[in-house]
A = this chain, B = another copy of it.
Amino acid sequence: MREPEGRLATIDTGPPRLGRGDVLHAGRRLAGRVWRTPVVRSDQLDALSGARLWLKAENLQRGGSFKVRGALLALERLAASGSRGVVAQSTGNHAIAVALAAREHRLPTTVVLPSDAAPTKVRRIRETGAEVRLVGTVLAERVAVVEELRERHGYDVVDPYDDPLVVAGQGTATAELISQVAEAGGRLDTVVVPIGGGSAIAGACLAAAGHDVAVVGAEPEAVPAFTAALDAGRPVTVPLRYTLADGLRPDRIGDLPFRLAQGRVSTVLEVAEAAIADALRAALLHARLLVEPAAATALAAAMSFAAEHGGDVGVLLTGGNVEPALVSSLLAGHGTGVPRTAMH
């Protein structure tokens, strides 16, 4: 992958020189190219949590997740530098986002997915015209194919986490949320963001800087990669366990996101699987939004946090790419209530 250009080229050593200005700049570049997704209120969720929740509905974003923001910026950079094509590996939203963004620049695109990837996601990627390679089931196998494509075709790799443009792009979702709440006459006390590879939480930290908004992270109890990194003082690999939140399965937080988020995240909540399922149902039945389990993880944490602390709590609902069969089975199950979470 080419080095990031200009002011961003210095971030690879020492503390990252990435700030709120980069998010604002990214927001100007993205204007008119992504939906300015709505911030949704729900009387019912407010009543359940005893606070005011402001739901940033990135499940309604192009490609079904906030990841198109960073991907558009990364592809814009690559296209300007004469890229011959791009390759990305992912289990989901990053691949969809890269495929969508690459299509705008008419760049040949190959995405490498595990052979058991969700059919819905594979179909969405194929609809963009991108080539899909289904390879093995573990990360190392996919990375090997990415390397092969990079070397054989001279393709550029679009990293989902460790790329300052991607992080700044993802931060625009939180920046919009803060602005939209202000436009509606409110003022956020807290924003709750899910943690997988870390681009969302790192972007949120950048966007919240100078706003007196506390940033709360939410990760599955099953894969507490950020909590483990905080304990170790550096990113570490945690044992991979199953979680409903497929978007939060990365077993290690990215280096750049960790450096940006460490010391700025005020609280991390670990969310139990049952609470993720409850929150997905609550989003659907009370806020009438279809969200994916990663976004439901943030909602579960937000409702727990809000019930304890009150105030105005923003929630980054990162995406809505979820298998219909999962939703069907969750709806056929038991009712919703305040999700249960364990405070870290």
**Interface positions of A from 271 to 290, Cβ below 8 Å from B:** 281, 284-285, 287-290
Copies of this chain present in the complex amount to 2
Contacts of A63 in B (CB 8 A): 43
Residue contact A331 to B320, C-beta cutoff 8 Å = no
Best-surrounded residue of A41, A63, A127, A289 (most CB of chain B within 10 A): A289
Q: Do A320 and B40 form a contact, CB below 8 Å, given A325-B331, A331-B327? A: no
Contacts of A42 in B (CB 8 A): 60
Contacts of A47 in B (CB 8 A): 127
A62 CA to B327 CA, complexed, in Å: 24
Contacts of A57 in B (CB 8 A): 38
A47 CA to B62 CA, complexed, in Å: 13
**Interface positions of A from 13 to 47, Cβ below 8 Å from B:** 35, 37-38, 40-43, 47
* Nearest B residue to A35, CB-CB: B41
In the assembled complex, the CB of A93 is this many whole angstroms from the nearest CB of chain B, namely 13
| Contact for A288 among B43, B60, B328, B332, CB less than 8 A | B60
Contacts of A320 in B (CB 8 A): 288
Q: Does A227 contact B (CB under 8 A)?
A: no
Contacts of A287 in B (CB 8 A): 60
Q: Does A324 contact B (CB under 8 A)?
A: yes
Residue contact A60 to B43, C-beta cutoff 8 Å = no
Which 7 pairs show the lowest CB-CB distances between chains A and B?
A38-B38, A328-B331, A288-B320, A288-B290, A324-B331, A328-B332, A59-B288
Supply 11 further A-B pairs (C-beta < 8 A) apart from A35-B41, A43-B63. Answer: A37-B38, A38-B38, A43-B62, A47-B127, A60-B289, A120-B285, A288-B291, A288-B320, A289-B290, A327-B327, A331-B331
Residues in chain A within 8 A of chain B (CB atoms): 35, 37-38, 40-43, 47, 57, 59-60, 62-64, 120, 127, 281, 284-285, 287-291, 320, 324-325, 327-329, 331-332
